[in-house]
């Protein structure tokens, strides 16, 4: 099981340096890739904490203590996390619609967001399907990592990257909402603290990788003049969410 998690996390890190060893035809692309190893520190620590938390008795005790502490103050459940997970990346489009321009145009930022969502979603779902971590409420054994939290932090990093040159407070607000999403996943007894930590790390890293790979993905879609997309609400009988479809 540890080998599976290590392989998946390693694949995330490998994606971030995609194209580094390509031939002469990709030299121009490689020059555009702006990979920064120091940017791996925070998401790496978060992911590492979550993975170690699967085996460490000390971190499992922290999970249990956190759950019990929150449970003492629970009056009823709030499903706000089903919606707040999407608020940060939707804010990027709302701000642009309001005339507050970010770093990229509609096409480029949508390519970046789609790449980040695919990286994050694939990573989270593969780990969930190969894992066996029981949720705190005992409903299923796919607790690790938190997909809601991963989505929220993916969006928070996306908001930060698009608007950090306008005002850092946009990014701060996005991360506060993302942290709140993670808290409510624990508050609603759906995830352990280590699940939330790993989800946050995966979300942040997925967006960073998407920006690092953007010089590559932009060249792939450079001949596509039209980009259409739709975001629709979905409900699976238990949880609400959004489905995104993009055509190039």
188, 71 contact by CB (below 8 A): no
Q: Which domain holds residue 195?
A: 2-247
What pLDDT was estimated at residue 12? 55
Backbone CA torsion sign across 173, 177, 179, 183: positive
> In whole numbers, what is the pLDDT of the chain averaged over residues?
83
Count the domains in the chain: 1
Q: How much is the average pLDDT of 92-100?
A: 96
Burial class of 36 by CB neighbour count within 10 A (0 to 12, 13 to 18, 19+) = exposed
Closest CA to 89 of 185, 191, 206: 206
Residue 241 zone, left/alpha/beta (φ > 0; ψ -120 to 50; rest): beta
pLDDT digits (tens, 9 = 90+) for 120-176: 999 999 999 998 999 999 999 999 999 999 999 999 999 999 999 999 999 999 999
Q: How much is the average pLDDT of 75-89?
A: 88
pLDDT digits (tens, 9 = 90+) for 185-238: 999 999 999 999 999 999 999 999 999 999 888 777 665 555 555 554 544 455
| DSSP string across 70-104 | HHTT-SS---THHHHTTHHHHHHHHHHHTT---SS
Greater confidence (21 vs 178) lies with: 178
What pLDDT was estimated at residue 235? 45
Q: How far apart are CA 178 and CA 143, in angstroms?
A: 18
pLDDT above 60 for 45: yes
Backbone CA torsion sign across 209, 210, 214, 216: positive
Q: Is 242 helix (H, G, I), strand (E, B) or coil?
A: strand
145, 195 contact by CB (below 8 A): yes
Please name the residue that has the structure tokens 């739709």: 230
Which long-range contacts (C-beta less than 8 Å, at least 24 apart) are formed by 226-234? 227/106, 227/107, 227/110, 227/111, 229/110, 231/90
What pLDDT was estimated at residue 36? 76
pLDDT above 60 for 25: no
Structure tokens at 248: 């190039």
Greater confidence (237 vs 46) lies with: 46
Please name the residue that has the structure tokens 């054994």: 141
Beta bridge partners of 245: 230
Q: Confidence class of residue 70 from pLDDT cuts 50, 70 and 90?
A: confident
Greater confidence (61 vs 4) lies with: 61
Total-model pTM: 0.82
pLDDT above 90 for 74: no
Residue 86 zone, left/alpha/beta (φ > 0; ψ -120 to 50; rest): alpha
Q: Confidence class of residue 247 from pLDDT cuts 50, 70 and 90?
A: low
Q: Is 12 helix (H, G, I), strand (E, B) or coil?
A: helix
């Amino acid at each position: 099981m540890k080998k599976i998690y290590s392989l998946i996390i390693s694949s995330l890190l490998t994606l971030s340096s995609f194209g580094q060893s390509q031939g002469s035809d990709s030299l121009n692309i490689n020059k555009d890739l702006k990979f920064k190893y120091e940017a791996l520190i925070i998401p790496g620590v978060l992911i590492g904490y979550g993975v170690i938390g699967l085996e460490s008795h000390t971190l499992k005790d922290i999970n249990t203590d956190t759950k019990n502490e929150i449970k003492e103050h629970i009056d009823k459940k709030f499903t706000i996390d089903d919606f707040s997970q999407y608020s940060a990346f939707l804010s990027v489009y709302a701000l642009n619609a309001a005339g507050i321009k970010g770093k990229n145009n509609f096409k480029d930022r949508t390519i970046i967001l789609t790449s980040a969502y695919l990286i994050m979603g694939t990573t989270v779902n593969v780990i969930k399907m190969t894992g066996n971590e029981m949720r705190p409420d005992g409903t299923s054994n796919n607790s690790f990592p938190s997909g809601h939290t991963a989505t929220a932090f993916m969006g928070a990093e996306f908001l930060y990257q698009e608007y950090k040159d306008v005002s850092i407070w946009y990014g701060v607000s996005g991360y506060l909402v993302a942290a709140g999403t993670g808290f409510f996943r624990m508050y609603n007894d759906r995830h352990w603290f280590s699940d939330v930590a790993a989800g946050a790390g995966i979300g942040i890293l997925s967006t960073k990788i998407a920006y690092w790979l953007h010089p590559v993905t932009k060249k792939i879609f450079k001949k596509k003049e039209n980009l259409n997309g739709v975001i629709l609400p979905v409900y699976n009988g238990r949880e609400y969410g959004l489905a995104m479809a993009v055509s190039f």
